Chains A and B, each alone.
Chain A
Amino acid sequence: MTASPMTSQKPADLVVIGAGPAGLAAAALAAGHGIRTLLLDEQPAPGGQIYRGVTRTPIGDPRVLGPDYRRGQDLVAAFESSGAKRVVGASVWSLTRDAEAGLEIGYSVAGAGTLIQAPRVILATGAMERPFPIPGWTLPGVMGAGAAQTLLKTSALVPDGPLVLAGTGPLLWLLAVQYVRAGVSIGAILDTTPRANWRAALPHMAGFVRSSYAIKGLKQLREARSKVRVISQVTGLRALGSDRIEAVAFRRGDGAEERMPAATLLLHQGVIPNPNLASAAGCAQDWNPDQLCWMPRTDVWNASTVDGVWIAGDGAGIGGAIAAEHQGRLAAVAALSAMGVLDGAGQDREAAPIRKALAGATRGRRFLDALYRPADQFRVPEDDTLVCRCEEVTAGQLREAVRLGCTGPNQTKTFLRCGMGPCQGRLCGTTVTELIAAERRVPASEVGHYRLRPPIKPITLAELAAVSKDDIPAVAAER
């Protein structure tokens, strides 16, 4: 493709944001077709969250992180040989669409801001851990299981002292197995999966049994259960302590109260699409009542409602790493077609095998969604639990605001400053939506979400004042 005079001012014809499986696969496919492709990623090395640090993890024993993790190496290798450029350590804080200028991306590398124009963008910004608001979840020593896994992958760091894992979902079991293999002793796994979930999941059992998840998952479960004390149907979970967590209290399935010492409590109840960049860019979001989260509205080609923006991977709805990869490729094929590199027939031809693989990769998801649907009490907490950590707003205050006539998350800002702290509602957004919906007895879709605006990450005034609009600055260019 020959670049038009307009696009020659732009560093790339396609910009991919996020170097997880979706982003890596999308960039590699597009660059393989000779398109000038630029990949922006916040981390110093590619891999996203699932393959975090895959090229440079200090963990020498491949058994610890497991064979699935190594799949990331192939993705990175394919990307590196594709000819796509990348900027590492690039925090994207803005994506806007202007009628004249088209899409504009603002990002910072090492404190220097840059604005670039991008004719087409694939967002592969992935997922974030679902907030897990319980009493005491703000105490030092309580953190997300995903965050703990990141420390394990990138730096081989493991928790010290009595360790408790609590929650539900595949990642909790995976982390438990990884810790066991790394020689970490786990005090207990508190499984919060409600018994009723099994009944809801059963109809989807057939699909699950034929999926790749089945054998892998069962093996992990067996390995974790054989080495660690697992307590099922846990409710009433609380982290106790004054300056930091000292113990975990909970109710067992048989109704008995129990308390155990803990220096670290790792919480997890699944992941949700990270809504920040897509929402700030103006992509329409819908509430997904099965996955209990906001999802950007995308078509069969993963195109969002904003012209020229595709969303692939877990950021478009949780489907797992393999599905993300295929979605990334699908979005890239659609972008190539939009650029005129592929014609309609070519697009369908390229997409056919990807769609087939994608169907295989998403098989069994509905079973997992139903089984690991987080319990109501851990999504919509009791009155004394903090919901907005930044401004220390409790669930009780939010309920009171609703009784006073507060109809949605944006109004809670006026009433309570909820969602106005340093995280700007990125963490509490889903909880606030569900809580207001429950209190008003209306669907979450009617309640809506916080208005998210750029910058989606805090940037200093100096960065903002010195935003460069040239090509990619030399220091930040590919490493």
Chain B
Amino acid sequence: MAKYSIFSLLRNAASHHQNWDRAWRDNRPKPDGYDVVIIGGGGHGLATAYYLAKEHGITNVAVIERSWLGGGNTGRNTTIIRSNYLWDESAALYEKSLQLYEGLSQELNYNIMFSQRGVLNLAHNLGDVREGMRRVNALRLNGVDSEWMTAEQVKEFCPIINISKDVRYPIMGGTLQRRAGTARHDAVAWGFARAASARGVDIIQNCEVTGIRRENGKVVGVDTSMGFVKAGKVGIVAAGHSSVVAGMADLRLPVESHPLQALVSEPVKPVIDCVVMSNTVHVYVSQSDKGELVMGAGIDAYTGYGQRGSFHVIEHQMGALLELFPIFSRLRMLRQWAGIVDVCPDASPIISKTPVDNLFINCGWGTGGFKATPGSGFVFAHTIARGEPHALNAPFGLERFNTGHLIDEHGAAAVAH
């Protein structure tokens, strides 16, 4: 892998940027198979492959993707990264991820455009205020930066916000995590793909997994549109389609798949330099580098695999958003889309071994998968390599739905599940 630097930029400028190397190798499955096959070439799958190679020295790895890298939820989210989760288990996992993000551009030698612009969570009623203050305290005890802000401080931090009292959802304060922010979602997938490929991982695109082959209760490989691929271990990282893939191994998952909508406006000059989220009205908004306002809405109540949402969901939320930001009312909305989120009953993910030997699963991230990308890959790689979970993901096993040790993060998701 040629290193990206100011010198490589200058050198390539001299040849009019016509001679850049491929960022990653485009492979076909090896006939001899792999030690590990990862199903799903989104951010989490690629990160898993990268950390398998880097942390555990397992490089005979393939990432198999049905379409193109980052074409699923990695390319459909609103790019928010934060770690302000209430419970100790979640705070530790997401904080690990945020810390990995902080050094990721350097580590991957790929600019993921991580911008720690601060994430503001608004409180609109007394319940929100109490919950917010409790969260600030809980986070500080876990060593995660967090601060409480009054309505006036919120206004100072984000001047275009409307803090008047005569609206349906008045702002009574908010919590702020200054280290939180956004990153370019495609770049995260591409950066991990490039770094993983450089360490010998095979990246196989446009290859659909059609079956998971087992012998004597043990996984031996996967059937794909490019034929059978032998594998010592298989990791499923298929986000919204996890249930479908797990079903190939007769595994039933405690997840439901819902459409989660987002929308984007026409580009405008910089107006908002932080991320604003509101749990009560179910909206979150930030401005992309291009200048578009990226807005997220709540999940649709019904389950479905259509990558589109319903207008009545956004309508309610946009009404509330315009009360918060009256300045946005004449902005034109260009595009609306949805990703399929897989949601667990406790709104926490599953990063786990499965009842099938050598089959591992990483799913159930609901609306919050993007922020967890590096951390998720880090602990999942550990789980696959050692056959046992890392301390950080031990609480997130499949067995918790039998033991009852649930991690209820409905509050932290910022979007009601």
Q: How far is the CA of A405 from the CA of B335 in the complex (A)?
A: 26
Chain A residues near B290: list those with CB within 8 A. 417
Q: How far is the CB of B81 from chain A (nearest CB, A)?
A: 19
Which of B70, B310, B318 has a CB less than 8 Å from the CB of A414?
B70
**Chain A 155-210 interface residues, beta-carbon cutoff 8 Å to B:** none
29 A-B Cβ contacts within 8 A?
Answer: A96-B311, A98-B310, A106-B311, A115-B311, A405-B205, A406-B68, A411-B71, A422-B266, A422-B332, A424-B334, A424-B335, A451-B337, A453-B335, A454-B308, A454-B311, A458-B266, A458-B332, A458-B333, A460-B329, A460-B332, A461-B318, A461-B332, A462-B329, A464-B311, A464-B318, A465-B315, A465-B318, A465-B322, A465-B329
With A458-B334, A461-B329, A462-B322 already in contact, 13 other A-B pairs whose C-beta atoms are closer than 8 Å? A410-B71, A411-B68, A414-B70, A454-B311, A461-B321, A461-B322, A461-B330, A464-B311, A464-B315, A464-B333, A465-B315, A465-B329, A466-B319
Q: How far is the CB of B272 from chain A (nearest CB, A)?
A: 14
* Interface 1/0 per residue, A442-479 and B, CB below 8 Å: 00000000010111001111101111010000000000
- B328 & A454 in contact (Cβ 8 Å cutoff): no
Q: Which 6 A-B pairs have the closest CB atoms?
A: A462-B329, A458-B332, A465-B318, A465-B319, A464-B318, A467-B315
Q: How far is the CA of A317 from the CA of B335 in the complex (A)?
A: 26
Q: How far is the CB of B260 from chain A (nearest CB, A)?
A: 14
**Chain B 18-54 interface residues, beta-carbon cutoff 8 Å to A:** 22, 26
Q: How far is the CA of A380 from the CA of B128 in the complex (A)?
A: 57
**Chain B 294-349 interface residues, beta-carbon cutoff 8 Å to A:** 307-308, 310-312, 314-315, 318-319, 321-322, 328-337
- A453 & B311 in contact (Cβ 8 Å cutoff): no
- For the complex, is A404 an interface residue (Cβ under 8 Å from B)? yes
Q: How far is the CA of A411 from the CA of B189 in the complex (A)?
A: 14
- B310 & A96 in contact (Cβ 8 Å cutoff): yes
- B308 & A453 in contact (Cβ 8 Å cutoff): yes
Supposing A422-B266, A467-B315 touch, asked if A414 and B333 sit within 8 A by C-beta, the answer is no
Chain B residues near A411: list those with CB within 8 A. 67-68, 71
- A453 & B75 in contact (Cβ 8 Å cutoff): no
- A467 & B311 in contact (Cβ 8 Å cutoff): yes
Chain A residues near B186: list those with CB within 8 A. 414
- For the complex, is B99 an interface residue (Cβ under 8 Å from A)? no
Supposing A411-B71, A461-B329 touch, asked if A455 and B315 sit within 8 A by C-beta, the answer is no
Q: How far is the CA of A462 from the CA of B333 in the complex (A)?
A: 10
Q: How far is the CA of A99 from the CA of B71 in the complex (A)?
A: 27
- A460 & B330 in contact (Cβ 8 Å cutoff): yes
**Chain A 394-435 interface residues, beta-carbon cutoff 8 Å to B:** 404-407, 410-411, 414, 417, 420, 422, 424
Supposing A407-B68, A461-B331, A465-B322 touch, asked if A455 and B26 sit within 8 A by C-beta, the answer is no
- For the complex, is A94 an interface residue (Cβ under 8 Å from B)? yes
Q: How far is the CA of A457 from the CA of B312 in the complex (A)?
A: 18
- For the complex, is B265 an interface residue (Cβ under 8 Å from A)? yes
In the complex, residue of chain B having the shortest beta-carbon distance to the beta carbon of A414: B186
Query: Interface size of B by Cβ–Cβ distance < 8 Å?
Result: 34
Chain B residues near A424: list those with CB within 8 A. 334-335
Q: How far is the CA of A33 from the CA of B75 in the complex (A)?
A: 50
* Interface 1/0 per residue, A350-366 and B, CB below 8 Å: 00000000000000000
- B333 & A455 in contact (Cβ 8 Å cutoff): yes
Supposing A96-B311, A414-B186, A454-B336 touch, asked if A461 and B71 sit within 8 A by C-beta, the answer is no
In the complex, residue of chain B having the shortest beta-carbon distance to the beta carbon of A404: B22
Q: How far is the CA of A376 from the CA of B75 in the complex (A)?
A: 33
Q: How far is the CA of A406 from the CA of B69 in the complex (A)?
A: 10
Chain B residues near A407: list those with CB within 8 A. 67-68, 206
* Interface 1/0 per residue, A70-100 and B, CB below 8 Å: 0000000000000000000000001010100
Q: How far is the CB of A164 from chain B (nearest CB, A)?
A: 33
Q: How far is the CA of A453 from the CA of B333 in the complex (A)?
A: 12
Interface SS of chain B: helix, strand, loop or mixed? mixed
Chain A residues near B334: list those with CB within 8 A. 422, 424, 458
- B266 & A414 in contact (Cβ 8 Å cutoff): no
Q: How far is the CA of A455 from the CA of B261 in the complex (A)?
A: 13
Q: How far is the CA of A454 from the CA of B312 in the complex (A)?
A: 13
Chain B residues near A406: list those with CB within 8 A. 68
- Tell me which of B22, B314, B321, B333 has the highest count of chain A C-beta atoms within 10 A of its own C-beta: B333
Q: How far is the CA of A453 from the CA of B67 in the complex (A)?
A: 20
In the complex, residue of chain A having the shortest beta-carbon distance to the beta carbon of B325: A461
- A414 & B322 in contact (Cβ 8 Å cutoff): no
Supposing A404-B22, A407-B206 touch, asked if A459 and B71 sit within 8 A by C-beta, the answer is no
In the complex, residue of chain A having the shortest beta-carbon distance to the beta carbon of B26: A405
Q: How far is the CB of A455 from chain B (nearest CB, A)?
A: 6
Chain A residues near B266: list those with CB within 8 A. 422, 458
- A453 & B336 in contact (Cβ 8 Å cutoff): yes
Supposing A96-B310, A407-B206, A424-B335 touch, asked if A461 and B265 sit within 8 A by C-beta, the answer is yes
Chain A residues near B333: list those with CB within 8 A. 455, 458-461, 464
- B322 & A455 in contact (Cβ 8 Å cutoff): no
**Chain A 294-311 interface residues, beta-carbon cutoff 8 Å to B:** none
Q: How far is the CA of A467 from the CA of B314 in the complex (A)?
A: 10
Chain A residues near B307: list those with CB within 8 A. 451
Which of A98, A422, A451, A462 has a CB less than 8 Å from the CB of B330?
A462
Chain A residues near B321: list those with CB within 8 A. 461, 465
- Tell me which of A404, A458, A460 has the highest count of chain B C-beta atoms within 10 A of its own C-beta: A460
- Tell me which of A422, A453, A455, A465 has the highest count of chain B C-beta atoms within 10 A of its own C-beta: A465
Q: How far is the CB of A181 from chain B (nearest CB, A)?
A: 40
Q: How far is the CB of B400 from chain A (nearest CB, A)?
A: 33
* Interface 1/0 per residue, A275-296 and B, CB below 8 Å: 0000000000000000000000
Chain B residues near A104: list those with CB within 8 A. 311
Q: How far is the CA of A460 from the CA of B319 in the complex (A)?
A: 12
Q: How far is the CB of A342 from chain B (nearest CB, A)?
A: 33
Q: How far is the CB of B284 from chain A (nearest CB, A)?
A: 14
- A461 & B335 in contact (Cβ 8 Å cutoff): no
- B328 & A461 in contact (Cβ 8 Å cutoff): yes
Q: How far is the CB of B401 from chain A (nearest CB, A)?
A: 29
Chain B residues near A459: list those with CB within 8 A. 332-333
Chain B residues near A94: list those with CB within 8 A. 311
Q: How far is the CA of A17 from the CA of B44 in the complex (A)?
A: 44
Q: How far is the CB of A106 from chain B (nearest CB, A)?
A: 6
In the complex, residue of chain B having the shortest beta-carbon distance to the beta carbon of A466: B319
Chain B residues near A414: list those with CB within 8 A. 68, 70-71, 75, 186
Q: How far is the CB of A94 from chain B (nearest CB, A)?
A: 6
Q: How far is the CB of B338 from chain A (nearest CB, A)?
A: 9
- Tell me which of B67, B318, B337 has the highest count of chain A C-beta atoms within 10 A of its own C-beta: B318
Q: How far is the CA of A452 from the CA of B370 in the complex (A)?
A: 24
Q: How far is the CA of A458 from the CA of B263 in the complex (A)?
A: 11
In the complex, residue of chain A having the shortest beta-carbon distance to the beta carbon of B330: A460
In the complex, residue of chain B having the shortest beta-carbon distance to the beta carbon of A106: B311
Chain B residues near A96: list those with CB within 8 A. 308, 310-311
Chain A residues near B335: list those with CB within 8 A. 420, 424, 453
Chain B residues near A460: list those with CB within 8 A. 329-333
Q: How far is the CB of B213 from chain A (nearest CB, A)?
A: 27
* Interface 1/0 per residue, B184-214 and A, CB below 8 Å: 0010000000000000000001100000000
Q: How far is the CA of A17 from the CA of B65 in the complex (A)?
A: 40
* Interface 1/0 per residue, B61-77 and A, CB below 8 Å: 00000011011000100
Chain B residues near A420: list those with CB within 8 A. 335
Chain B residues near A454: list those with CB within 8 A. 308, 311, 336
Chain B residues near A106: list those with CB within 8 A. 311
Q: How far is the CA of A332 from the CA of B92 in the complex (A)?
A: 62
Chain A residues near B205: list those with CB within 8 A. 405
Q: How far is the CA of A124 from the CA of B332 in the complex (A)?
A: 26
- B337 & A453 in contact (Cβ 8 Å cutoff): yes
Q: How far is the CA of A233 from the CA of B310 in the complex (A)?
A: 50
Q: How far is the CA of A96 from the CA of B290 in the complex (A)?
A: 30
Chain A residues near B206: list those with CB within 8 A. 407
Q: How far is the CB of A25 from chain B (nearest CB, A)?
A: 30
Q: How far is the CA of A451 from the CA of B330 in the complex (A)?
A: 26
